[in-house]
Amino acid sequence: MSLCWVALVVALLTVAGLSAEGASAQSPQESTSAIATIEVTVWRSTSNPSLLYLSTRPEEGDWATQDRALDMSHLSASGRFHQSSAVGVEVPLADGAKVAVEVTVWRSVSNPSLLYLSTRPEGGSWVTQDRPLDMLRVSSSGRFHQSRAVRLAVPLAEPLGASPDVEWLFAHGISSRRQSEIRQEMADIVMFVAQRFGASASGFTVSVGSDDPGWSIPAFMATTASFWDAAHEYFHVVQSELAGGGPKGPHWLVEGSATYAEEAYDGDLEFRRAIAPAAASHIASIRETESADWVRLNYHLGFLAVDWLVGHAGERSLLQYYRFLPDHDRWEAAFEAAFGLTIDEFYERFEEHRTRVAPPLPHLMDDTVAPVAAFVGNVPERVRSQIQAEMNDVHAFLVERFGAEGTEYSIYVGADWENVAEHHRRLSMNLWWDDRIRSHSLPLPWAPSCLSGATGWVVHVTSCGYSLGHSVYINSHLRVLLEEKEQLDLPPLWMEAGAGAYITLAYAAPVDDELSWHRAVVQRSDVPLVQLATTDGWEAAEGIERLALSTVAVDWLLWRAGELALFDYFRLLPQGTLGLPSLDVTAASAFEEAFGLTLDEFYGHFDDYRSTLTDD
């Protein structure tokens, strides 16, 4: 995915289905060069209303009725509609050419009498009628209810203009064969965006071979040699050109629409619709991302919002918005012109949709800064009180003894797995969000169908015999603080594991009473602590050595600098270095300021300390 938009780039240089839940009319601003007109009628069996048949005809043509009932087994991602298989109609144009148009029928799950029609040119995007079909007419045989014939004008793709002028900058070492492959893929992307979204860039520069994730500014995009994010970055280039400069308006729309285009090009829209709710649940409202310079949730929550807008106004409305920007003083006015509703109307309707597909985590729904336990099913009151009390105690312990900032996270507690399975499915599917933070962190305790979690949430089942312990609350607290810093880990790698273990020991008993075992393991081990600073070194050591060395190292640091220094280090960490495998210069400065010595000096002192340890 691209990094943020222009602000971040300048620094570098110096839902689904009827996903909007909504049946909607075609945007009047959609620019097309040709129209295919068809008529459609739907038949519903009076003896078995689940059976639907479709009749279609091109303008001034003959009616053709499907001889089999429509397959209505597909359920939209929201669960609100069943959708039929698409039915194709061949339509002659004035120049003698013929085009294929597809028709699909939507049936409301809650009220099956409500039927809607969608049409699209073959390979294009669906446009849905905003009113249900009138099914009052009864056929002469009495066997069917028949809708009135609906006349539909289907906009066809605009003819492609001249190919854009592309200047290429390839990094040294990219073979001529790979360069040729990349040029061809860029041509495919340009054609795809033009055909699907109705616009292309007139000219731009492509820099290939960057070590950083893809980024773009007006008329320029940079990507890695893998070219995996090129569709996303090219969409940004088109946005900028249409807008007359950098794109304006909310970042969720900038990044959400580029993510939508990327997934459409890759053929992964359904995958994205499945995983986006996980990250979208980590923010209270889409309004919070409206003017933020850099919020990773813009990609996920933004995708869900854009997916809704596509269902409401069609895919071409995404670039129509940018096309309208130069003619409006405020981005909100361009938004209304492109999508057919005000931004406030959108926010209201989208939040209603979101409560079904990506409800915010419980801790985001109040004004307090504290973790929240949400109990589902028949969880005994005694267990509820015990969990809530210990969670509150750990939070207070971290704040009062260590000077930690208060944090928020949610724990779903169910009597059995069925109570929490839906929460777990929604929250654990987001691979891009969760794998990023699980790579090197001390994982939360886990047991199949018992306890699972990642940053910001935990799911637990009381009937499995595994009790929530204070280590779960401690690690959840640490992970949220790191997430707020946009850090993968607490660098170096041994620091996070050691901090979690040290605090866990301190909560349960005086630390010195519990450290004798750890010191004995360290005394016998020949693994240098510095080895545990990198991923490869961490994974090469035995688990028991990693835990003991990390814990004893943090104990020595806090003995020297005081326990408050630990969360001073959290506070001093730079924002958003993304947890580089080795300590970068800014994080090294934070280490020195918090603990009063450089990392190299610490390693030397710790080696001296290890030499004093005995089996006693």
Q: Is residue 412 over pLDDT 90?
A: yes
pLDDT band at residue 114 under the 50/70/90 scheme? very high
Q: What is the C-alpha separation between 523 and 589, in angstroms, rounded?
A: 30
pLDDT band at residue 26 under the 50/70/90 scheme? very low
pLDDT tens digit string along 492-523?
Answer: 989 989 999 999 999 987 777 778 899 999 99
DSSP β-bridge partners for residue 215: 222
- pLDDT the model gives residue 301: 82
- pLDDT the model gives residue 146: 92
Mean pLDDT of 7-34: 35
Question: Quick check: 72 and 107 in contact, CB under 8 A?
Answer: yes
Lowest pLDDT segment from 30-39, 53-62, 503-512: 30-39
Question: Quick check: 4 and 110 in contact, CB under 8 A?
Answer: no
pLDDT tens digit string along 172-210?
Answer: 889 999 999 999 999 999 988 988 888 899 999 999 986
DSSP string computed for 457-477: EEEEEGGGS----HHHHHHHH
pLDDT band at residue 78 under the 50/70/90 scheme? low
Which of 17, 13, 44 lies closest to 357 in space, CA to CA? Answer: 17
Q: Which residue has the higher pLDDT, 468 or 591?
A: 591
Element (H, E) at 605: helix 599-612
Q: Is residue 593 over pLDDT 70?
A: yes
Task: Judge residue 536's burial from the number of C-beta atoms within 10 Å of its C-beta, 0-12 exposed, 13-18 middle, 19 or more buried.
Answer: exposed
pLDDT band at residue 290 under the 50/70/90 scheme? low
- pLDDT the model gives residue 287: 77
pLDDT band at residue 407 under the 50/70/90 scheme? very high
CA distances from 508 to 42, 117, 466, 490 (A): 69, 63, 18, 23
- pLDDT the model gives residue 3: 34
Residue with tokens 């724990």: 411
Q: What proportions of the chain, in percent to the nearest 5, are helix, strand and coil?
A: 45, 15, 35
- pLDDT the model gives residue 273: 73
DSSP β-bridge partners for residue 169: 207
Q: What is the C-alpha separation between 99 and 89, in angstroms, rounded?
A: 8
pLDDT band at residue 241 under the 50/70/90 scheme? very high
- pLDDT the model gives residue 449: 63
Q: What is the C-alpha separation between 307 and 309, in angstroms, rounded?
A: 5
| % pLDDT > 90, the chain | 41
Q: What is the C-alpha separation between 27 and 314, in angstroms, rounded?
A: 7
- pLDDT the model gives residue 10: 32
Contacts of 418 (CB under 8 A, 6+ apart): 377
Domain residue spans of the chain: 6-12+161-357, 35-155, 364-484, 493-612
Contacts of 220 (CB under 8 A, 6+ apart): 204, 205, 207, 237
- pLDDT the model gives residue 87: 82
- pLDDT the model gives residue 258: 94
Element (H, E) at 411: strand 410-414
Mean pLDDT for all residues in the chain: 81
Residue ranges of alpha helices (H) inside 362-491 are 381-402, 417-428, 431-438, 470-484
**Distance of alpha carbon 488 from the chain centroid:** 17
- pLDDT the model gives residue 12: 31
| % pLDDT > 70, the chain | 82
pLDDT tens digit string along 478-492?
Answer: 988 887 777 777 889
Most confidently predicted of 114-123, 133-142, 568-577: 133-142
DSSP string computed for 354-365: HHHHSPPPGGGG
Contacts of 450 (CB under 8 A, 6+ apart): 460, 461, 464, 465, 466
pLDDT tens digit string along 348-404?
Answer: 999 888 888 888 888 888 888 999 999 999 999 999 999 999 999 999 999 999 999
- pLDDT the model gives residue 573: 86
Question: Quick check: 142 and 47 in contact, CB under 8 A?
Answer: no
Lowest pLDDT segment from 441-450, 453-462, 594-603: 441-450
Q: Which residue has the higher pLDDT, 211 or 142?
A: 142
Element (H, E) at 452: strand 451-454
Element (H, E) at 303: helix 297-313
| Count of helix runs (H) and strand runs (E) in the chain | 21, 20
Mean pLDDT of 473-482: 90
- pLDDT the model gives residue 182: 92
- pLDDT the model gives residue 441: 34
- pLDDT the model gives residue 225: 84
Question: Quick check: 494 and 553 in contact, CB under 8 A?
Answer: yes
- pLDDT the model gives residue 372: 93
- pLDDT the model gives residue 34: 65
Most confidently predicted of 57-66, 221-230, 591-600: 591-600
Contacts of 528 (CB under 8 A, 6+ apart): 603, 607
- pLDDT the model gives residue 75: 80
Q: What is the C-alpha separation between 444 and 36, in angstroms, rounded?
A: 57
Q: Is residue 240 over pLDDT 70?
A: yes
CA distances from 213 to 5, 171, 616 (A): 13, 15, 52
Question: Quick check: 50 and 72 in contact, CB under 8 A?
Answer: yes
- pLDDT the model gives residue 279: 66
pLDDT band at residue 30 under the 50/70/90 scheme? very low
The CATH code of domain 6-12+161-357 reads: 1.10.390.10
Contacts of 382 (CB under 8 A, 6+ apart): none
Q: Is residue 577 over pLDDT 50?
A: no
Within 10 A of 63 (CB to CB), how many other CB atoms are there?
10
Q: What is the C-alpha separation between 417 and 360, in angstroms, rounded?
A: 21
Q: Is residue 83 over pLDDT 70?
A: yes
DSSP string computed for 149-183: PEEEEEEPPPPP-SPPEEEEEEPTT--HHHHHHHH
- pLDDT the model gives residue 227: 87
- pLDDT the model gives residue 243: 93
Q: With a threshold of 0.85, does the pTM exceed it?
A: no
DSSP string computed for 50-63: T-EEEEEEETTS--
